């Protein structure tokens, strides 16, 4: 009886969701171990956002003004949320390059021979990138505090709202890594993935409210910026951080930036995860 029971247990299929989660965590662990063995990947990933904080704060901070304020400190507090959002979205390029590198080296072919969920390779990679993004945000927040950024500079906030703001940033970063995953599956080399990732990231981040008040833009450009998912997250963070730059726009994402940020991020994940996994399956069929 015991032998029959054991045989049944062996032949019964595993829970697909459970198996997919376990396989994804194995791949995520593999990528995190790889990152820890190549520390320059982490170091160089931290240098760029730190440079943005310092350069924008001290180079542009003295000449930029937000709303009717003439204080350079107000622009500094306005700026940091935009730099945070830019940092998490720029992780897209490295995610795409990493997946393209795995494809180029034949790693996908080796995983295909294993009894694992098809989407686990991409999901595990994006989870690992999310951990690296979280580490980058922690370091960046410390640097921002050192240069004078303060939460609650334009109102009241609390620890829960601050953590919620960082949660929205990580959710946006995770959503954008799926765009990077699709790009990485669609090109032939890591270099092409990096280049193609940055080409669209620059207009997305700069045609937004990250670094300037959209009220000073021409009407058609302002509408694009106000409906930009990137702008919604930056604005939501300013609201939760209680920093200057509260929008007077009547565009729905600017009036409800927290909800807009959540909806945008979830939609991006749903759409681009489906496309990336489909691309992965067709590439390994």
Q: Which residues contact 93 (CB under 8 A, 6 or more apart)?
A: 180, 193, 194, 197, 198, 201
Out of 4-18, 99-113, 193-207, pick the least confident: 4-18
pLDDT at 285: 52
Confidence at 3, pLDDT banded by 50, 70, 90: very low
pLDDT tens per residue, range 60-86: 766 676 765 556 778 888 889 999 999
pLDDT in tens, 44-65: 777 878 888 888 878 776 667 6
Residue 113 in 3-state DSSP?
coil
pLDDT of residue 261: 97
Query: Residue 141 in contact with residue 227, Cβ under 8 Å?
Result: no
Q: Residue 182's closest CA among 119, 137, 229?
A: 119
> Could you report the per-residue pLDDT of 222-245, keeping only the tens digit for each?
999 999 999 999 999 999 999 887
Q: Specify the length of the chain in residues.
A: 285
Calculate the dihedral angle through the C-alpha atoms of 179, 180, 183, 187, rounding to the nearest 10 degrees: -170
What are the residue boundaries of the structural domains of the chain, listed by start?
A: 15-283
pLDDT tens per residue, range 170-208: 999 999 999 998 998 888 788 888 888 788 898 999 999
Percent of the chain topping pLDDT 70: 87
State the virtual CA torsion across 127, 130, 132, 136 in degrees, nearest 10: -170
pLDDT at 148 over 70: yes
């Amino acid at each position: 009886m015991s032998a029959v029971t054991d045989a049944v247990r062996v032949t019964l299929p595993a829970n697909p969701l459970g198996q997919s989660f376990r396989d994804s965590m194995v791949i995520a662990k593999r990528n995190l171990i790889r990152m820890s063995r190549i520390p320059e990947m982490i170091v160089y990933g931290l240098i760029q956002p730190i440079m943005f904080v310092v350069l924008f704060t001290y180079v542009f901070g003295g000449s930029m003004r937000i709303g009717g304020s003439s204080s350079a400190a107000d622009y500094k507090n306005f700026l940091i949320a935009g730099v945070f959002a830019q940092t998490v979205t720029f992780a897209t390029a490295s995610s795409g390059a990493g997946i393209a590198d795995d494809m180029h080296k034949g790693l996908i072919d080796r995983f295909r021979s294993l009894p694992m969920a098809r989407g686990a390779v991409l999901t595990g990679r994006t989870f690992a990138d999310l951990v690296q993004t979280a580490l980058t945000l922690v370091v960046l927040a410390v640097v921002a505090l050192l240069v004078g950024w303060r939460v609650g500079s334009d109102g009241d906030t609390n620890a829960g709202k601050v953590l919620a703001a960082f949660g929205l940033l990580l959710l946006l970063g995770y959503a954008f890594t799926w765009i990077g995953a699709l790009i990485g599956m669609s090109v032939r080399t890591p270099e092409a993935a990096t280049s193609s990732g940055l080409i669209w990231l620059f207009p997305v981040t700069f045609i937004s409210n990250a670094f300037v008040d959209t009220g000073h833009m021409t009407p058609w450009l302002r509408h694009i910026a106000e409906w930009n998912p990137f702008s919604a997250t930056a604005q939501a963070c300013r609201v939760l951080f209680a920093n200057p730059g509260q929008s007077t726009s009547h565009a729905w994402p600017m009036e409800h930036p927290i909800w807009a940020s959540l909806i945008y991020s979830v939609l991006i994940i749903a759409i681009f995860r489906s496309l990336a996994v489909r691309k992965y399956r067709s590439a390994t069929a």
